[in-house]
Structure 1
């Protein structure tokens, strides 16, 4: 029998992220592996989704993606793709959450990095957005 905490996390993930499987050891996290289209056509794969993580402005939804050939210094070249990941991928998946996240954080990494752990050898880019209606508004992170 699953402990209550794990059962609650599994139920919450099922309701919040229909169709995504959940890592029962990380409440609010959804397992990834799904290829996600971006305007540039580059290869982007979902790593995981972490809902209701504390953010600067309240609850945040973190969508973490893997880009195997991500290069340091290319952050500006990914701006349009990261905005598209927020507006076209993340925003529809958080629209009905209660409470709604006050911030959506999109991160790209060249490898899987455990959430919250330092990985100086990994190339990672992060952008934060405020969900406003059908748009993601970039926020200085």
Structure 2
């Protein structure tokens, strides 16, 4: 497993660089910040992790933010991987309301995860 707290030059394109460097609104309107990507070359999985302090608050519950996952996958993850020349068979997007280390659990932290297979420039939802 390769864990990268990405330098913005490593996995970005000119289109994604400004968004990854700061808080960015996603389709739900929630402010989201890129945290890191964890690459698992043996499993061909790229895990993109995001922080959104308002996650779980009224208007930013799972039903409200569900579309943000595919948006982040298609608008951020795929272009970043393409730019870096790394191929994945699956992308996992995670959003949490507080910082938490990869693989760690904390009952006080709200985290949502969604997995996608890749079809060209599209992310296809793959339920866990």
Q: Same fold (TM over 0.5)?
A: yes
Change in 2 beyond 3 A, CA 1:71/1:95 = same
TM-score of the pair, normalised by structure 1:
0.70
Do the aligned partners of residues 97 and 103 (structure 1) sit closer, same or farther apart at CA in structure 2, a change above 3 Å counting? farther
Matched residue count: 117
> For structure 2, which runs of at least 5 residues remain unmatched after alignment?
14-19
How far is the alpha carbon of 1:100 from its aligned partner?
Answer: 1.0
CA RMSD of aligned residues (A): 2.9
Q: TM-score, normalised by structure 2?
A: 0.76
Residue of structure 2 in register with 1:74 after alignment: 61
- The residue matched to 2:31 in structure 1 has which SS? coil
Counterparts in 2 of 1:1-141, with a 5 A limit?
16-18=10-12, 34-52=22-40, 58-71=43-56, 74-95=61-82, 100-141=87-128
Displaced runs of 4 or more, over 4 A: 13-16, 96-99
Relative CO higher for 1 or 2, CA cutoff 8 Å, sep ≥ 6? Answer: 2
Q: How many angstroms apart in 1 are the aligned matches of 2:29 and 2:61? A: 16
Deviation at 1:96, TM superposition (A): 5.0
State which structure, 1 or 2, has the greater radius of gyration over its C-alpha atoms: 1
Structure 1: state its 5+ residue gaps.
1-8, 20-31
